Amino acid sequence: MWMSYIIATIIMLLSILVIMISTILSKKMINDREKNSPFECGFDPKSSARMPFSLRFFLIAVIFLIFDVEIALLLPIIIILQWSNMMMWSIVSMFFLLILLIGLFHEWNQGALEWAN
């Protein structure tokens, strides 16, 4: 029992030592303006490197990803039907679909699905 405590202590100390050494060695020395600016053939940039991003497009992309994952979760429900209890399968499937529909109606009411205003 004591041997496992000793080994755990040694492993903790080695981990802390490695973390401390890596933080000391990974520090940047000097941050100057030239290193932090975007590179355009040796000249100063003509415009800002950060382009404005459409938040509406990002919201639609996130909603698409969420519903894409939900569809991937719905597909195995059909395969599970042959190995599960019909009553339990129906309850779980309807509950899952109800949650998806409530989420869809909420996004619709919030106006998240309207691309053009």
In this predicted structure, the answer to whether residue 33 has a pLDDT above a threshold of 70 is no
Q: pTM above 0.85?
A: no
Alpha helices by DSSP H, 26-117: 33-36, 55-80, 86-110
- Rounded average pLDDT over 9-37: 80
**Domain boundaries along the sequence of the chain:** 55-110
Q: Which two tokens stand for residue 55?
A: 């938040």
pLDDT at site 28: 62
Neighbours of 103 (CB within 10 A): 14
How does pLDDT run across 64-104, given as a tens digit for each residue? 888 888 888 888 888 888 888 889 888 988 998 899 889 88
How far apart CA 21 and CA 26 sit, in angstroms, is 9
Q: Which residue has the higher pLDDT, 38 or 63?
A: 63
